Structure 1
Amino acid sequence: MAPRNNPDIEKDADAQGGGVQSVDRALQILEILAREGDAGVSEIADEMGVHKSTVSRLVGSLVNRELVRQNSERGKYQLGFGILRLATSIPGRLSVVHEAREVLEALAGEYKETVNLAVLRSNYAVNVDQAMGPSTLATYDWVGSLTPLHATSSGKVLLAALTADERSQVLKTVGLPARTPRTITNRAELEKQLLDVARNGYAVVHEEFEIGLTAVAVPIYNHMGNVIAAVSISGPAFRFTPEEHPGLIDALREAGFTISAKMGYRRR
């Protein structure tokens, strides 16, 4: 526990700092309440190492803005509905394409292969953005392409995130057609692989969608922790082997988390 400061000194510090310290402390209070669920003034003051009067003053301002409310039964404070109003205004303004663009380009530049961003639409993985590596072989434009969920790395990431009922409905509609001799067309085998995808956090396909093409993909999450997209790196099978490339899969997973964080996701 940090030592409590003198409330008069704290007020002077706030005034000299133009209120920046008060803003920082108010945000600390919100973070404490988000973490704990609820807390009393004394508990908050103890954790922050400030005087109770300082916490009371800041909590009062937050209550007036409906960012914090007091639990009438326990007398403790918890986050208010004002927080919800602020939070719900964000997702609709976020574009995964816009937020991911810089990350896609960085991946393409580092690994010299094609990087795609895909989302689930009408039972297919739809590529909505692409960053091209410098290789002369990486010339195909996948943007707008509908690709089968069961035969692509992005598709498997998106499939693995669905509930069993949702997945059954999708596969009942589109089936498991073979795109190449290596395409998985057995439902039980596919389900086993999807369990691995969910557990490991990535999917790799070797020539299942197209002969000579290998790809690896990871999920992108939104602020609710739901998978909303997948980012993949693909390249010619003769030179691109993700499992044997030191650090590639880990770097791709971190890239997925970076985009997810821009979409409001908080990694636990």
Structure 2
Amino acid sequence: MSNKPAAQKRDASPVQSVDRAITVLELLARDGELGVTGLAAELGVHKSTAFRLVAALEARSLVEQNAERGKYRLGVGILRLAGATAARLDLVQESRPVSRRLAAELGETINITVPSDGAALYLDQVAGSSAVQTHNWVGQRIPMHATSNGKALLAFRGDRDLTELLGRKPLTSFTEHTITNRRDLEAELDAVRELGYATAVDELEIGLTAVAAPIRNAEGVAVASLSASGPSFRLTSSRIGQIAPAVRDAADEVARRLGWHGAVL
């Protein structure tokens, strides 16, 4: 009996097709190369079904055919996906010591986010000594327009406009302080560019304040952001002014660890 991912018996559906396509990738990762006949046997499907699956994957460069042998193997598209994952792992690895040091210095929670489908995705979080009970944001997507991390990402993403970055959907209101007008948001982002950091006071949640700065790549484009967040009663306007330079310096340090040399587009 072969040691293979089990082909599950389900009614034909888009979910089943996705499951089978993933199984094809797993089989090719295991065996190196397989022909359509071999894939069909492993999946327990007709050869025509196996061919449609590899054709769809081949169209996305996730598999490629060995012209001489007629068999399929993993394609260069897999490297693209793996590279994106590796870049995020590098970001977490390089930012963690900086976040820990900043959390110890400020006593506030330090967060790392990246842009993801029009939102900011939390990749890492380090709680400061003043955080009694910290909400774990890691793995969550948050709206860009209502958060300091999101504003930092929006402000330093090069020449792309808000429609490209956020889409055309209305800006959701979370509190009475949330910016929901695009012109007001554009004005806010101009101020962020001038200061080099973004703030959000009671905009996502009442009682939550944060200040964030962009983490730039080698070309000077914001690929991530670093923020310090805490309760609004502690992060007052004067306190924000005090910690903002440290947040900005920490974000720049992470950027330098990732290859940024100080040039800004």
Pairwise TM-score range, normalised by the shorter structure:
0.5 to 0.7
| Offset at residue 136 of structure 1 (A) | 4.6
Q: Distance in 2 between matches of 1:103 and 1:138?
A: 22
1:175 aligns with 2:144: no
Structure 2 gap ranges (5+): 1-82
Could you tell me which residue of structure 2 aligns to residue 37 of structure 1? none
* Structure with max Cα Rg: 1
| Offset at residue 175 of structure 1 (A) | 2.6
Q: Write the letter of the residue equivalent to 2:102.
A: L
Identity %: 40
In structure 2, the residue corresponding to 1:266 is in which secondary structure? coil
Residues 183/170 of structure 1: CA separation in 2 closer, same or farther (3 Å cut): same
**Could you tell me whether the CA contact under 8 Å between 2:158 and 2:221 is conserved in 1?**
no
In the TM superposition, 1:173-252 aligns within 5 A as 173-241=168-236, 243-244=238-239, 247-252=242-247
Residues 227/95 of structure 1: CA separation in 2 closer, same or farther (3 Å cut): same
Q: Distance in 1 between matches of 2:131 and 2:157?
A: 36
In structure 2, the residue corresponding to 1:98 is in which secondary structure? helix
Residues 183/206 of structure 1: CA separation in 2 closer, same or farther (3 Å cut): same
Residues 202/136 of structure 1: CA separation in 2 closer, same or farther (3 Å cut): closer
Could you tell me which residue of structure 2 aligns to residue 162 of structure 1? 157
| Offset at residue 246 of structure 1 (A) | 6.1
Could you tell me which residue of structure 2 aligns to residue 150 of structure 1? 145
Query: How does the TM-score come out when normalised to structure 2?
Result: 0.63
- Cα deviation code 1:48-78 (max 9, x no counterpart): xxxxxxxxxxxxxxxxxxxxxxxxxxxxxxx
Q: Distance in 1 between matches of 2:221 and 2:98?
A: 20
| Offset at residue 156 of structure 1 (A) | 0.3
Residues 173/199 of structure 1: CA separation in 2 closer, same or farther (3 Å cut): same
Could you tell me which residue of structure 2 aligns to residue 31 of structure 1? none
Alignment RMSD, CA only? 2.0
Question: How many residues are paired up?
Answer: 178
Structure 1 gap ranges (5+): 1-88
In the TM superposition, 1:64-103 aligns within 5 A as 95-103=90-98
In structure 2, the residue corresponding to 1:95 is in which secondary structure? helix
Query: How does the TM-score come out when normalised to structure 1?
Result: 0.62
Q: Distance in 2 between matches of 1:263 and 1:95?
A: 8
